[in-house]
A and B are shown apart, each in its own frame.
Chain A
Amino acid sequence: MLELLIAPFTIDFMQQAMLTAVLLSVASAVLSCFLVLRGWALMGDAISHAVLPGIVLAYASGIPVVIGAFVAGMICTLATGYLSENSRLKEDTVMGVVFSGMFGLGVVLFSVMRIDVHLDEILFGDILGLTWADVLQTGLVALAASVIIWFQRKDLLVQCFDPQHARVIGLPVKALHYGLLVLLSIVIVTALKVVGIILIIALLIAPGAIGYLMTDRFDAMLFYAVAAATISSVLGIVISFVLDSAPAPTIVLVLMFIFVLVFLFAPVHGLIGGRRARRTAVEPQFH
């Protein structure tokens, strides 16, 4: 049994998978905190679907796929921003319209152009079939994104919490806004081809949600988000090895399990944990 648990850490392709998953987890966990707070939880979903037409067109015209995907992702976010600013619709409504439209376009283009790759190769990635070059590339992108966001987190937080105050104190609000979106798109595009759409969508929502339930301080929220994402990546890959299941969905399942635990038992905001906190807080008054 022990050997079975240790094996994934010794086999080459398992090491690669684990390292990549962990690095991407950190970057997307940090991003997810901002997405959850900004009410952009669907943004990850939206961008990762909206990149499809870009990928197809890039394939067809011989441009690197990553670039096509990135451009399509940015078009999705910019169109969403423009439409919600210039209409009375809420951002998530517009986002839903834009990304389903772009995904539809991608699928139509894909079938019309008869490209000789499989759609699931594009969208589901293959975390067990990575090369060290893939690991390096993904790792560098993930690391850069994490570091940039870590150093900008306070400004991003003000911008998120009170955009008006951010403007008053002279923060570069436009740059912060679009910078976050660009980083998000880059991380998604990089992640898509290695870990697949399901994992990246989950990693861009659940860790932030977990952190948000755990605490009332932002830095602590970041910590819990990163911890949850990292733990589920490692555990998920080990479990997938033992069960011989697909790694990405297994990671998602572990993440969801942690989410449920936190939802129930988080100290103050959890369903049961909160009740206990309230009980102990009230008691002293009766003595």
Chain B
Amino acid sequence: MNSDVSNVTEAAGQSQRLSGVDSGVVKVSSAANESGRATRRKSGNEPGNEPGNEPGIAAKNITVTYNNGHTALRDASFSIPNATICALVGVNGSGKSTLFKALMGFVPLASGSVEILGKSAGRALKRNTVAYVPQNEDVDWDFPVLVEDVVMMGRYGHMNFLRRPSAKDRSQVESALQRVNMWEYRHRQIGQLSGGQKKRVFLARALAQESRVILLDEPFTGVDVKTEESIIALMRSMRDEGRVMLVSTHNLGSVPQFCDHVVLINRTVLADGPADVVFTRKNLEHAFGGVLRFHVLGGHELHDDDDAREVTVITDDERPFVLYGENDDAPEHQSFDKD
């Protein structure tokens, strides 16, 4: 992903180097950058604009009230076209996980409706249309299943009722495990893995499932950068195959890199639409309120000349690490902590 950032920088015609910004949005405020972003986005197909194509995921006025009386989502509506990677962004407790459960019918809707590829949630699940990576796996880690068995469970929707794996099922399992760098661990019992490795196995299961709709609830939490990059690459290729993905994340920095679409929520949908329209400073401030860390480096702090461009760093959870200097050996550290 660093290369992506440097693309932006190059497009902006600058020699400065920005790195280590996984957790923040680095936005070089210049027209040149905007065009750089636009060209990059074009590599993905412009999704869902064909007429007569039903949306990938659509929610209409959904309200979810938990048993304890807490209304986690009220009157939330959005729609995501096919062949899209959509980010779901919001503070802790804003209802992201609730929204995923509501989409699949795991929590009852007090009102509203959900359509997945034009069908009700129940019918979509029956047809193996949806893959889901929950935020926390609630399973018995001592269970007598190996890593490869768990990933093979993603293939069951493709098998006949005896669930006997074909050569294709096996190769899908292998490539999914390769993608998340867990192939060497395929014969491990599932509990004998680290937290991030477990997460990767369940990601692999969702990949192996080859569903047209993939719901990922904070898939990158606890996953290393290398795996994250390779999963993002895979998501891009799945988008190009016409699949639709909804990904919740606190990694604001990577959202513009791989998401075409953004849904901002805080107990309802605040904004949804194409990333370059919705993922703006104003909307983010609205969605995150005071939680957001926000840093602007004005031109005079960056340059000795009268270049007026400035660097804006936005992050919701982690402190961004931004390097800015002449060469690699002696970078001037700028680590921000201004709340």
Contact = CB atoms under 8 A, between A and B. Distances in A.
B149 A162 contact: no
Contact of B146 (A157, A169, A216): A216
B138 interface: yes
B131 interface: yes
B326 to A, nearest CB: 46
Interface residues of A, number: 23
B153 A162 contact: yes
Interface in B277-317: none
B149 A217 contact: yes
Nearest to B188: A216
B120 to A, nearest CB: 13
Interface in B139-159: 139-140, 143-146, 149-150, 153-154, 156-157
Interface stretch (B44-52, B54-62, B122-130, B233-241): B122-130
A155 B104 contact: no
A157 B134 CA distance: 19
B156 A158 contact: yes
Interface in A192-220: 212, 215-218, 220
Nearest to A222: B144
Contacts of B127: 170
B144 A212 contact: yes
Contacts of A164: 106, 132, 134, 138
A155 B149 CA distance: 12
B66 to A, nearest CB: 14
Nearest to B142: A212
Contact of B163 (A37, A155, A165): A155
A90 interface: no
B139 A170 contact: no
Nearest to B134: A164
B82 interface: no
Nearest to A39: B140
Contacts of B163: 154-155
A221 interface: yes
A167 B126 contact: no
Contacts of B132: 164-165, 168
A221 B157 contact: no
Nearest to B152: A154
Contact of A158 (B125, B146, B153): B153
A161 B209 contact: no
Contacts of B126: 170
Given A158-B156, A169-B209, A221 B144 contact: yes
B167 interface: no
A170 B157 contact: yes
Interface in A149-164: 151, 154-155, 157-158, 160-162, 164
B293 to A, nearest CB: 34
Contacts of A169: 125, 128, 153-154, 156-157, 209
Contacts of A94: none
A217 B125 CA distance: 28
Contacts of B137: 162
Contacts of B157: 169-170
A170 B155 CA distance: 12
Interface in B69-87: none
B205 interface: yes
Given A155-B163, A216-B144, A218-B144, A165 B104 contact: no
A212 B189 CA distance: 13
A277 to B, nearest CB: 13
Contact of B125 (A155, A161, A170): A170
Contacts of B145: 157, 161, 216-218
A159 B139 CA distance: 11
A213 to B, nearest CB: 10
13 contacts: A37-B140, A155-B156, A157-B145, A158-B153, A160-B143, A162-B139, A162-B153, A164-B106, A164-B138, A167-B106, A169-B154, A216-B144, A217-B144
Given A154-B156, A161-B140, A165-B153, 20 more contacts: A151-B161, A151-B162, A160-B143, A161-B143, A161-B145, A161-B153, A164-B106, A165-B205, A168-B132, A169-B153, A169-B157, A169-B209, A170-B125, A215-B144, A216-B145, A216-B146, A217-B144, A217-B145, A217-B149, A218-B144
| Nearest 3 interchain pairs by C-beta | A154-B163, A216-B189, A170-B126
